[in-house]
Structure 1
Amino acid sequence: MWGGRTGALLRLSRLWPTGLLWRGLLNCNVVSLAGSNSPRCWNCGGLGGPLRGDQFFCPQCRALQPPDPARDYFSLMDCNHSFRVDTSKLQHRYQELQRLVHPDFFSQRSQTEKDFSEKHSTLVNDAYKTLLAPLSRGLYLVS
């Protein structure tokens, strides 16, 4: 009944780390290895796919990947690049992201993933605080 991509997604959903709710297949937020043009996972060396959405995890080994330093707060929090922001949607997105990357969920993982989790969590906190307050949101927009 569930063949193809949908079936694969459903089968993978049972493999996510404890404490993480499955929110769709989250691909690699990939890193380029020195001297390589191909994006690869830091943990398994697997090739990552194109970056889009909530791609914090490697699709092959499910290791948390490093945050993308070029990603802006609006795209991280899934908001339009505008002064007008739906604060209830922003709060929901903040909670959703913290359920994915909060350090409490990575206590039994490698030190690298713990470090990436702290960086992701800090980034999500900063983005939320900045976009929640109108003054800081406006300053962020013009910067």
Structure 2
Amino acid sequence: MKFNWGTGIVLAFIGFISFIMYFIITMHTNDQYDHDLVTEDYYKQELEFQNDIEKQKNSKALTTNIDWKKTSEGIVLTFPKTLKAENITGKVFLYRPSNKQFDFDATISLSNHNLLIPDKRLLDGRWNIIIDWQYSGKSYLYKKEIVY
């Protein structure tokens, strides 16, 4: 068989197509490359987006907003001292962008304006904290990206 330009181009196309097919099959079958949507109920959250904007405006209007710090026990969230701790209700949602299996939420139960998220529930890396809370019938929303 004689090797000429036509044969070389055909072999190059076959090699390129083989590489692309291998890449596509690997991406679809390997769990390491499995990337999910940010949330399962994306459309429901999109409909509530305006409510979230209003809640964030309420949070920014506070004299002091929620503060957080990393301690040896975990993350301590400090709510504004000007508010009565027993009247604060809501949920804290921790979202792990790299793996949704580590996502969790907790209800707010305060002791002296502080809420502790235990260290055993947190892995090193990036976390998104979303705190949806209410005080005296008014709703607030706090979002923060942290690296633990």
TM tier relative to shorter chain: under 0.3
What is the TM-score normalised by the length of structure 1? 0.24
When you count helix as a share of all residues, which structure comes out higher?
1
When you count strand as a share of all residues, which structure comes out higher?
2
What is the TM-score normalised by the length of structure 2? 0.24
